[in-house]
């Protein structure tokens, strides 16, 4: 069997990231073979997640200037990242040189703020879907959206699907199926409430109440960020 070509993966990690947006695809992409994965932030200090435990960056912005795959996860911390010129500058620079520019959940809005989704189809978490248009992207309501070398996933758990799809494109479908089997990815959720069109009204109302409490005015904030970064919204 020929030796697999090396693949480098850089994940942006930031305060209040949704850890499963990152750790789900990281687990899958780590099985590409001959792969290095870095979690990158301004410092190597522990970064708090929305799950109550920290992640440890492996490198800083200054130490990573190129990767084959750039992946930006989501979370409530993305609003702060979109307003952070240093972070956006690093994402923009990395995305310009990466073979694959990818995101999970609201990480797509960070790609958008960096100018990396203008003119591309993309997806994100259902509750933020229309905000993609603020950054010149075309929102598409699918779990995974591929447009040239932009591969975006929907909310949180779609990161596993996105990563398997990327493995298939890089190493072939047979290898992706092997990875899927190795992690026993055969989901059978106990409830059918994983999308807004399937959830009952009470559950939807409860979710929106959480969003409005945790991030009041989020839509207008994201719109203002897009305007500040030169997008006509």
Q: Which of 64, 72, 98, 105 is catalytic?
A: 105
On whether the CB atoms of residues 206 and 213 are closer than 8 A, the answer is: no
CA angle 22, 134, 85 (to 5 degrees): 60
Residues 189-209: b if buried by 16+ CB within 10 A, e if exposed: eeeeeeeeeebeeeeeeeeee
105 is annotated as an active-site residue:
yes
Q: Cα–Cα distance between 207 and 190 in angstroms, integer?
A: 19
Share in percent of the chain as helix, strand, coil (round to 5): 45, 20, 40
Q: How far apart are CA 203 and CA 196, in angstroms?
A: 9
Give the residue numbers annotated as catalytic, written as ranges.
105
């Amino acid at each position: 069997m020929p030796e697999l070509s090396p693949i480098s993966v850089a994940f942006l990690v930031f305060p209040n990231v949704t850890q499963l947006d990152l750790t789900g695809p990281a687990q899958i992409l780590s099985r590409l073979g001959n792969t290095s994965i870095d979690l990158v932030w301004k410092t190597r200090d522990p970064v708090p997640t929305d799950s109550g435990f920290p992640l440890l960056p492996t490198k800083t912005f200054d130490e990573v200037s190129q990767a084959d795959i750039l992946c930006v996860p989501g979370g409530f911390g993305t609003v702060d990242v979109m307003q952070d010129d240093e972070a956006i500058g690093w994402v923009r620079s990395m995305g310009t040189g990466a073979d694959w520019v990818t995101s999970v959940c609201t990480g797509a809005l960070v790609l958008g703020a960096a100018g990396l989704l203008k003119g591309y189809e993309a997806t994100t978490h259902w509750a933020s879907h229309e905000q993609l248009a603020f950054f010149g992207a075309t929102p598409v309501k699918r779990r995974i959206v591929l447009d040239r070398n932009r591969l975006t996933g929907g909310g949180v758990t779609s990161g596993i699907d996105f990563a398997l799809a990327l493995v298939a494109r890089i190493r072939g479908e047979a290898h992706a199926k092997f990875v899927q089997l190795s992690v026993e990815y055969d989901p059978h959720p106990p409830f059918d409430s994983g999308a807004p069109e399937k959830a009952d009204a009470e559950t939807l109302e409860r979710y929106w109440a959480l969003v409005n409490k945790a991030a009041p005015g989020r839509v207008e904030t994201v719109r203002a960020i897009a305007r500040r970064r030169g997008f006509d919204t």
